[in-house]
Structure 1
């Protein structure tokens, strides 16, 4: 399995971004780490090995970037407005730098986004905000409402990076074309969040699969079962 390390300077963030890339061809999957995780977390925790067959067969090429959790929603040392503004910059980096580069490199018009836990938030936020660039969205035990990170503060940067808020009013036609899977489990601490997002999608008649696994907690073993299953549905 080919593994490449990449680092580049982001003009949107004014800092370097690091990333691991697995595979040399196939459908591109942008895979985010969990809360405060680094670009190597999904490899270290075995999620990449769980889908090694797809990579070795040239079916997917997986991109694992850093997030800015510690400088955005989780940075309690700065005002919520600054947390939200920084995350808006991160989203701009994804939308203007990373994802167009991935699309060009792979010769495709759309990518897949995926992630576990808070990585599921990143995957869903980008996919629903920019559905013209995303054909598949796979969330595993994701959380989707960012308001708990900002208290009573609210502005456009919060609204437009909070899928539970902006998705109900979105009329982007690509949402109805997307392959959407919300994975959760009976003992998942984010189970309610997945049901809430599913309700929003149902209300808009957006087709999706709410996959509720039995007898499993919010942890890596169930995510390593989910991810290869979900990749088998790529379209």
Structure 2
């Protein structure tokens, strides 16, 4: 299985960003890590191994990006306004630096995004903020309400990064072209958030699949079962 380490300087973040890329050709999947996870997390926890067939048969090319959670949502040493602004710089790096390069490299107009746990929030938030970039969205074991990270602080930046708040009022034709899966499991503590997000999407007439696995909890075994199933839908 082809594996490539990449590192570049992000002008939006003012720092180097690291990434692992799996595969030499295939439909591009941008994979976000879990809480404060690193770019090698999906490899370490065998999520990449679970989809080896898709990569080796050149069906899928996976881009595992690093997070900046320690300087954004989980940066308790910073004022909440600074935390969310730092995330906005991360979002701009993804949208204006990384995704255009992936589109050129893979000759596609839109990409797939996904993630487990907090990475699922990152994927869904990016997809609905930039639906013109995303054809497939897969969240696995995610929560979507970010307000608990901000100590009661609220402003426009929080609103536009909190999908349960902005999605009911958002309108974009690309929402209805996206293939969406909200993955959770019977004993996942994030299950209620997925039901709530599903209801929001239903109210807007946005087609999606709420996939509730009958076993498992908020952990890698169920995500390793989900991920190859979702890739098979591309």
| TM-score strictly above 0.5 | yes
Unaligned runs of 5+ in 2: none
Provide Cα deviations, 1:2-28, integer angstroms capped at 9, x if missing partner. 000000000000000000000011100
2:8 alignment partner in structure 1: 8
1:203 aligns with 2:203: yes
SS at match of 1:201: helix
Shift of 1:143: 1.1
Q: 1:91-130 to 2 correspondence within 5 Å?
A: 91-130=91-130
Instruction: Map 1:132-151 to 2 at 5 A.
Output: 132-151=132-151
Q: CA–CA distance in 2 between the matches of 1:129 and 1:167?
A: 9
SS of the residue corresponding to residue 43 of structure 1 reads helix
Query: What is the number of residues matched between the two proteins?
Result: 234
- Normalised by the length of structure 1, the TM-score is 0.99
Alpha-carbon separation, structure 1, partners of 2:221 and 2:128: 27
RMSD between aligned residues: 0.6
Q: What is residue 222 of structure 1 aligned with on the other side?
A: 222
Q: Secondary structure at the match of 1:7?
A: strand
Q: Which residue of structure 2 lines up, in the alignment, with residue 77 of structure 1?
A: 77
Alignment partner of 2:48: what SS? helix
Aligned to 2:35: 35
Q: CA deviation at 1:215?
A: 2.2
TM-fit CA distance, 1:165: 1.2
Deviations 1:94-143 (A, max 9, x none): 01000111001100000000000000011000001100000000000011
Deviation at 1:163, TM superposition (A): 1.1
* Counterpart-to-counterpart distance in 2, 1:86 and 1:148: 17
Runs of 5+ unmatched residues, structure 1: none
